[in-house]
Structure 1
């Protein structure tokens, strides 16, 4: 039996740290994108008998790159290749405010027990974690091989726990800045009358479309960590739902944007809607794909905006709509812009290419809610950095085997980390002054060549070999390659900063090291 010990100091009160760990979404926030994904976490926290399910990548860079390659293949093939291991845990020894344990029920280890103890230390908290485990065939392996496997496993554990320590501290700081720590909420409520309690902490219920996507998953988890009730918009045939044949689950709101149907009553007590639904762009830009890309964004946004407007007219409660958009608004290159030069700011007109037209229609649909006083903000998302999707997912397998390089050269790439785009979206939801378009980009855009150099340095791999242009064209077609991969967009982050958002990863190197565990 082997043992791994780890201690993390957090400059927050023990009750606040423990409360965050037991709120829904904590496991999703703690599980690194380079390590796998969360399939299911406990509804009521890690109480005795609760269970959770995750997947694990193989250890190291090649494990993460193999999963990235499988995800990329799944976007163009009718099936997704398997590249992960399943892990199923049960929680026990739950001691409110002090600790809990999880035990592996099934997974790749022979046995696994993870104990957590939360201790007061000065003004902060010491989180002491102990893992006792036995890997398969451990007792039958010769000593040198057993030690080699153990060293490899513990190196991976150090990567995971380093990520978790940073993520926990950053999330708690984010919630503290918005007055969402458990102690802050208790103190505020203690100074309010009972009838004022509903508005003590700002939005209490938030609905999210696109909740199962890469960004939506993290947005829901971050909202859960703030103590906010999250309701996921799920596609259902509402005619069958009304007949009792297809019911939504707990915390779900049924809608069918294709037929223009939405369970309005289930949306009535929602304070904010975060709209992230939309067909993925990563496919060949055929006429049919472009039609679906546009309709999946515009039709659903129109339905949500008009429903919110009607609800606000009949029962005002200061609702808000935070809706997706993209820096594609500005056009892929200078040739696709009307009188716009230099850094791209939110006041500039939209471009003339396909994605600019989609963003224009998308944002116009969201603004329909403003007619009834709904606060509307649209977030123009840049290149999101995560091995789970987007440009990094596409480039990681090539860099892992030493043949990575820039996709283009001098064009500017406005990127943002996965944590920062999720954080900025939630910040807009919780900030009453946030209105209109906001660029969802980090403050330091880079050229395509500089991006490749930075990724190569983080991975300790060469980065000089240019990626052949036929690769993106093969996957996306000539138009898709031009508007996505070869886009030249230097977008400003000033409005996000002016609204008070504090970027976790202001530089590309910080972002890549975090999401890749390097």
Structure 2
């Protein structure tokens, strides 16, 4: 049985698709252009999905579609795109799954640790409630559309991902040139916690959650060892053979340069632990940041 993947051309979708195909699994990619073969279905999030026959009998659906959080400055128009690209696409996909005579056994739908809001230095797991702020509200609406798949008997897992470490894309690849020039510096106070996971562990966790049929609801995709931004900065600088700048970048300067994204995406603290993932028996390949960065880079 195949695996349906949306957002398959992104960092996580590409890595997951490669891993599935390496296992000999069939992948059906939902793409926002004309389909180029039997392994693709064209769709427009927000519109009724056609080509449902290709989705019948799939083992799982992994929903990763959504506009990038950190690639652009947040205008009001782009904030609306961040919401609609996630909420509308999830509503469309779940609506299509509910029409199938043989829907997937499980839907794994992307979300983020931003769901919890700024949690300071408190360690939290999936038992924590939704926090405040734009990204927390976005995650709440996003997840609210995904869990409607349960009404059709589809086990639903909400993938609350932390910072995914990869040199092929995402936040790490964008800051690496600065760190390699010796210009890496803590952000704001540097005391805010960053919850991270390597792309290898992220893919491994998703494959694990497809198989673990008793797991449903929110699952934190983060390593067991969140670190402060200052520690992250020093460890990354050391990994590329440089020293970190001793003076942090002030919060006001980040806000001037990056706008609301800095205040909502870089400065809040998320000391998030993977409680349900660990309880389900997943074994991390990387639990220490220094070893993780060495493996990634």
Query: Which TM-score band (shorter chain)?
Result: over 0.9
Structure 2 distance, partners of 1:391, 1:430, is 29
1:366 aligned partner: 146
Matched residue, 1:284: 73
CA drift of 1:367 comes to 0.5
> Is residue 11 of structure 2 the alignment partner of residue 214 of structure 1?
yes
Normalised TM-score (structure 1): 0.54
- Cα deviation digits, residues 329-354 of structure 1 (max 9, x gap): 001355xxxxxx82121122111200
Counterpart in 2 of 1:462? 243
Q: Which of 465, 473, 485 matches 2:255?
A: 473
Query: 1:15-35, CA deviations, whole angstroms, 9 ceiling, x for partnerless residues?
Result: xxxxxxxxxxxxxxxxxxxxx
Query: What is the deviation of 1:258?
Result: 3.3
The whole-number CA distance in structure 1 between the counterparts of 2:247 and 2:209 is: 38
Name the count of aligned residue pairs: 294
Question: Contact conserved, 1:309 with 1:370, CA < 8 A, in 2?
Answer: no
Distance in 2, Cα, partners of 1:268 & 1:418: 29
Alpha-carbon distance between aligned partners in 2 of 1:374 and 1:234, rounded to the nearest angstrom: 22
- Correspondence list, 1:262-281, <5 A: 262-281=50-69
**Residue 247 (structure 1) shift:** 4.6
Taking the aligned partners of 1:450 and 1:347, their CA distance within structure 2 comes to: 27
Could you say if the C-alpha distance between residues 448 and 482 of structure 1 is closer, same or farther in structure 2, counting changes exceeding 3 Å?
same
The answer on whether the counterparts of 2:74 and 2:261 sit within 8 Å (CA) in structure 1 is yes
Q: Residue 252 in 1 paired to residue 40 in 2?
A: yes
Which residue is equivalent to 2:160?
380
Once residues 395 and 465 of structure 1 are traced to their aligned partners in structure 2, the CA distance between those partners, rounded to angstroms, is 17
Q: Which stretches in structure 1 are left out of the alignment for 5+ residues?
A: 1-203, 237-245, 335-340
Do 1:403 and 1:465's aligned partners in 2 also have CA atoms closer than 8 Å?
A: no
Q: Indicate conservation of the 8 Å contact 2:61/2:104, yes or no.
A: no
Quote the Cα distance in structure 2 between the aligned partners of 1:359 and 1:473: 22
Q: Distance in 2 between matches of 1:468 and 1:328?
A: 22
Which consecutive segments of 4 or more residues in structure 1 shift more than 4 A?
none
The offset of 1:473, in angstroms, is: 2.9
1:256 counterpart SS class: coil
- 2:22 maps to 225
**Alpha-carbon contact 1:274-1:323 (below 8 Å) kept:** yes
Aligned equivalent of 2:98? 309
- Paired position in structure 1 for 2:193: 412
For residue 416 of structure 1, give the secondary structure of its aligned residue in structure 2: strand
Measured on the aligned residues, the alpha-carbon RMSD in Å equals: 1.8
Q: Give, in whole Å, the separation in 2 of the partners of 1:388 and 1:424.
A: 19
Partner of 1:300: 89
- Pick aligned residue for 1:346 from 121, 126, 133: 126
| In the alignment, structure 1 residue 330 sits paired with structure 2 residue 116 | yes
- Aligned-partner SS, 1:433: coil
Q: Describe the shift of the 1:221–1:247 C-alpha distance in structure 2 as closer, same or farther (beyond 3 A).
A: closer
CA contact (8 A) 2:3 2:28 kept: yes
Tell me the equivalent position of 2:279.
Answer: 498
How do 1:73-88 and structure 2 match up within 5 A?
A: none
* Contact 1:256–1:262 under 8 Å retained in 2: no
Please give the residue correspondences for 1:19-418 in structure 2 after superposition, counting only pairs within 5 Å.
204-236=1-33, 246-282=34-70, 283-311=72-100, 314-315=101-102, 319-334=105-120, 342-408=122-188, 409-418=190-199
- Alignment partners' CA distance in 2, 1:365 and 1:279: 17
Aligned to 1:175: none
Q: Given that residues 318 and 373 in structure 1 are in contact (C-alpha distance below 8 angstroms), is that contact kept between their aligned partners in structure 2?
A: no
Shift of 1:318: 5.8
Work out the CA distance in 2 between the residues paired with 1:263 and 1:332: 41
Query: Larger Rg: 1 or 2?
Result: 1
Gaps of 5+ in 2: none
Distance in 1 separating the partners of 2:86 and 2:163? 18
Structure 1 residues 271, 347: CA separation in 2 closer, same or farther (over 3 Å shift)? same
- Do 2:47 and 2:92's aligned partners in 1 also have CA atoms closer than 8 Å? no
> Could you tell me how far apart the structure 2 residues matched to 1:247 and 1:506 are?
39
CA contact (8 A) 1:345 1:492 kept: yes
